[in-house]
Structure 1
Amino acid sequence: MKKIHLLILRSFIGPFVVTFFIVMFVLLMLFLFKYIDDMIGKGFDWYVILELMLYSSATNVAMALPLSVLLSSIMTYGSLGENYELVAIKSAGISLGRALYPMIIAVCGLSISAFFFSEYMLPVANLKYYSLLYDVRQQKTAFLINENVFNNSFPGYSIRVKKKDADGRTLRDIMIYSRSEKNPSNLDVTFAAEGIMYRTENDLVIRLKNGIRYAETPADNGYMGLRSQFTRSAFTERVARFDLSVFKPKRTAESEFKGAFQMMNRDQLNHWRDSVNTLTKVAIGRNFGLVTPYFRYFLMPSKPVQKGLKYIKVKGNYWDSIDRDRKMSIIANALNEARAVKEQVKARADRLDELQLESRRNRVEYQKKYTLSAACLALFLIGAPLGAIIRKGGLGLPVVVSVIFFLIYYIISTIGEKFVKDGDLSPMIGMWIAIVVLTPIGLFLSYKAANDSELFNVEAYNKLIKKITRIFNKKAAQ
């Protein structure tokens, strides 16, 4: 019995490791395709790009692990069925359920590990990843000058080059506008027929040749009149330097990103939710006090406040007893007070809606701590019996089947998460609906596999279709 368990575990570990790294590699390539333009040509060191790829891989575990469990379980039991090893196991008196024991223990271990990963390691990886990705995307490009484009990357300068030679260093027909705080109106411009561009440690240097500089200096009082000075100077060679310090990578403090829910563990999520619930209760309690002064009914004293003051009783309808001007004044005052109440209530209602939206997102991230582990178990319940039924190993049919079921899981979970964030579903239902849908499918497939069902046998369906066709033909003949 132990030898059979070891056989199944060894058959599972290899495909699991291979599929896990394949899926991680595919997801990493998708990341590179998405952000390649934000990383290339910005002067980053190789280890910064490698660090970003490492953090990106850590954030992809939540998607790669369930898919790897599904695919490897189909491959494992499909290979055992294809090589008639499952038949030998059953002939020895061991049911498929007992043969699943070692795999169930292994997948439960993976699920527990996935929970601790999502609780302790994933928030740190998300914090490192999103903070570094933000800095990378905000970084200005180090590919400084393009053809026929005014480049404004250098503070105080605007550069246009009509043509660049194939060597990437020789520039043709150069125009440089110089701006400053005292002279922001582009009154200093330099033209050059040719230039050689190269970089030093701190500067970009362009050696200009055969050019003219035009400069107009305004008067001290800013009046562009007779006191303005216009200068025109020609040169055969001149050096222009531009500071490259603005292109040096800068890191944003990670503390600025810690407020996002993806960077929190369960205790931090619970603490935030408790704080928001307390704040919401206090805000709701204060709403009545804010609008009370606008309702005169609550301010009307039950008894006269002054001695000798008496109420005047009006016969009939009071509104009909007052004149037209008095009515207009009352209506105008009522409208003003209604608008004031509406503005106060609307502002506080919008704030409460924002808090409710943030609270729903908080619950989404909290439930994700558990759904990753549950997804591994649910997809294993589908993959193992499905592999025993289709009896195909390798990376052919198992890949197609696993991708189909994983897409079903991913689409349902994504739709459920969207409904939760929109407030249409509770967090418990929306985040667990994919698991609830897939688990009965897994149990059904387990039942079919235990009874040697011909669920994916084409010949069995052909026989069924022929049988139904004969029945209809007999009825038609009668």
Structure 2
Amino acid sequence: MKTLHRFVLKSYIGPLVMTFFVTMFVLLMQFLWRYIDDLVGKGLSWNVIAELLLYASAGLLPMALPLATLLASLMTMGNLGENNELLAMKSAGISLPRILTPLIVLTIFISVGAFFFSNNVLPYTNLKISTLLYSVKQQKPELIIKEGVFTNLIEGYSIKVGEKDPNTGLMRRILIYDHSKDEENTTVTYADSGYMKPTADQKFLVATLFSGNSYKEVRDNRKPRYSYKEKLPAQKQTFEKEVIIFELKGFELQRADESFFKDSYQTQNIAQLEKTEDSLSKAFNTQIESFSQHVIRSSIFRNPYWGRRQNDVKVTRSLNVDSLYNTLPPVEKISALERAMEFARSTKSYVSSSKDEFFYKQKYIARHMIEWHRKFTLAFACFVFFFIGAPLGAIIRKGGLGTPVVISVLFFIIYYIINITGEKFARELYWNPFMGMWISSFILLPLGIFLSYKATTDSVIMNADFYIEKVKKLFSFSTTRKKHTELSPKTE
């Protein structure tokens, strides 16, 4: 039996590893496509890109692992069935649950590992990737000097190049405006040709200019302002070669402070989420109570005896508001109505603004509970997908990357659509977080139980030949009955 278990495990681990990395690669490509606009043109080093992909891979694992489990189990059992190895095991008296025992144990370990990964590793990687993505988005684009366009990326300078040789890097008709001293465009440099290259540490840009002139307006420091129409003397310097060094500020990656993202629900584990949710719920309940007291004490609901002890206020008779209103003079009636309308409008505005605030806070609390349930749904999804893939593979008896891939992708799409729909409903407070996050697993779990039962009883539910034979028999029966009716004598 140990030999059989090793054989089944060996047949399963290979497809599991392969499908996991293939799935991860596809999801990483989707991640890069999503953030391509933020990454391209920033001059990021390879170690930064590798770090970003590493953290992104960890964040995509909750989606890749269930799909890999489904596809690997379907391929493994399909291969065993297609090669008649599964039939040989059953002929030897080994039942399907006995064959799947080592895979079930392995899936349990994978599910437990997935839970600990979601609870301990994923919050850390979410914190890292959130900080890194924010830093990349805030970084300046890579310094690229285009032909015929002013470049203002270098602080204090505007540079324009008329022509640039793509092979040698030689630039012609170089125009540089220097306004680094907040003196507008008082210093201008023009060169017939030159080169511009950054230093090895990317901190400076060295411009080597040939055959040019430098112009600088001469201003009187005692006169703070000049009219743009006023003509000023200028100094002109001619050079055959001149070297200008520009300091490149803001082009290196400035990492943001991680403390800005530590309070996010995506960067917390289960204990932290429970603590945060409890604090938010208490604060929300306190605010609701304060809101109720404020509405009662103010506007049309206010009580002139509010705050007094109950024994100090004696109620001698009930007050009829309509009778009291009818005793008022016409002018006071109008005044009373205006005050009542003012109180009503004020209360309505306060209730409306408070409603939006309460709704936002409820959604924020729900986000924490959604993230709390997500820690468990990943592990449970691996378990559910295994009990869909393994029995289904034993039923269809098709291995390889053809039919199993199609069926796996179909089931995963169904799961994913149900999952994101439930999560969206939970975020919008249509459903509670438990129902929104678990509905996809609860829908697919009965399907897994049904397929496991059918596979154990050697059902032909997924065998196309079975249905084709049934259809042929049906048509054959209909044709025979029609002929029998035509040949039978008619009776008057």
Note the alpha carbon deviations across 1:436-463, whole angstroms, 9 max, x for none. 1111111222222222222332222222
Q: 1:231 aligns with which of 234, 237, 256?
A: 234
Distance across 2 between alignment mates of 1:448 and 1:194: 80
Distance across 2 between alignment mates of 1:36 and 1:25: 16
What is residue 308 of structure 1 aligned with on the other side?
Answer: none
Note the alpha carbon deviations across 1:276-329, whole angstroms, 9 max, x for none. 1111111111113323132365116999x9xxxxxx9999663574234x4554
Structure 1 residues 52-61 or 167-176, which shifts more? 167-176
AA in 2 matched with 1:277: S
Shift of 1:187: 5.7
What is residue 432 of structure 2 aligned with on the other side?
Answer: 426
Distance across 2 between alignment mates of 1:216 and 1:461: 96
Distance across 2 between alignment mates of 1:105 and 1:286: 53
What is residue 198 of structure 2 aligned with on the other side?
Answer: 199
Distance across 1 between alignment mates of 2:482 and 2:420: 49
Q: 1:332 to 1:472 in 2, by over 3 A?
A: farther
Q: 1:316 to 1:111 in 2, by over 3 A?
A: closer
AA in 2 matched with 1:135: S
What is residue 53 of structure 2 aligned with on the other side?
Answer: 53
Question: SS at the partner of 1:246?
Answer: coil
- Is 1:174 paired with 2:174? yes
What is residue 318 of structure 1 aligned with on the other side?
Answer: 325
Shift of 1:98: 2.0
AA in 2 matched with 1:361: R
Structure 1 residues 143-152 or 128-137, which shifts more? 143-152
Question: SS at the partner of 1:298?
Answer: coil
Q: 1:145 to 1:2 in 2, by over 3 A?
A: same
Question: SS at the partner of 2:227?
Answer: coil
Pairwise CA RMSD = 3.1
Shift of 1:56: 1.4
Distance across 2 between alignment mates of 1:371 and 1:275: 24
- Is 1:277 paired with 2:318? no
Q: 1:458 aligns with which of 431, 445, 464?
A: 464
Distance across 2 between alignment mates of 1:230 and 1:124: 62
Shift of 1:46: 2.6
Matches within 5 A, 1:75-474: 75-167=75-167, 169-180=169-180, 182-183=182-183, 186=185, 189-200=188-199, 201=201, 202-209=203-210, 210-211=212-213, 213=215, 215=217, 220-224=223-227, 229=232, 231=234, 233=236, 235-236=238-239, 237-291=241-295, 292-295=297-300, 298-299=303-304, 318=325, 321-324=328-331, 326-470=332-476
Note the alpha carbon deviations across 1:19-62, whole angstroms, 9 max, x for none. 22222223233333444554455344332222222111111211
Query: Identity over aligned residues, as a percent?
Result: 42
Distance across 1 between alignment mates of 2:188 and 2:227: 17
CA contact (8 A) 1:164 1:172 kept: yes
Provide TM-score, normalisation by structure 1. Answer: 0.88
Structure 1 residues 288-297 or 81-90, which shifts more? 288-297
Provide TM-score, normalisation by structure 2. Answer: 0.85
Structure 1 residues 259-268 or 185-194, which shifts more? 185-194
Q: 1:169 to 1:225 in 2, by over 3 A?
A: closer
Note the alpha carbon deviations across 1:96-145, whole angstroms, 9 max, x for none. 12222221111011101111111111111111122112212322223332
Note the alpha carbon deviations across 1:73-109, whole angstroms, 9 max, x for none. 1111111111111111111112112222221111011
Distance across 2 between alignment mates of 1:181 and 1:341: 57
Question: SS at the partner of 2:42?
Answer: coil
Note the alpha carbon deviations across 1:143-191, whole angstroms, 9 max, x for none. 33233443322222233334322137322343434435744x5565544
CA contact (8 A) 2:300 2:344 kept: no
Note the alpha carbon deviations across 1:204-223, whole angstroms, 9 max, x for none. 12234435646585983435
Q: 1:15 to 1:327 in 2, by over 3 A?
A: same
Question: SS at the partner of 1:295?
Answer: helix
Question: SS at the partner of 1:405?
Answer: helix
Distance across 2 between alignment mates of 1:206 and 1:454: 77
What is residue 309 of structure 1 aligned with on the other side?
Answer: none
Question: SS at the partner of 1:233?
Answer: strand
Distance across 2 between alignment mates of 1:328 and 1:398: 79
Shift of 1:431: 0.7
AA in 2 matched with 1:404: L
Question: SS at the partner of 1:194?
Answer: strand
Shift of 1:2: 2.7
Q: How many residues align?
A: 469
Question: SS at the partner of 2:458?
Answer: coil
Which structure 1 residue ranges, 5 or more long, are not aligned? 306-311
CA contact (8 A) 1:77 1:388 kept: yes
Distance across 2 between alignment mates of 1:148 and 1:104: 66
Shift of 1:193: 4.2
Q: 1:360 to 1:430 in 2, by over 3 A?
A: same
Structure 1 residues 69-78 or 459-468, which shifts more? 459-468
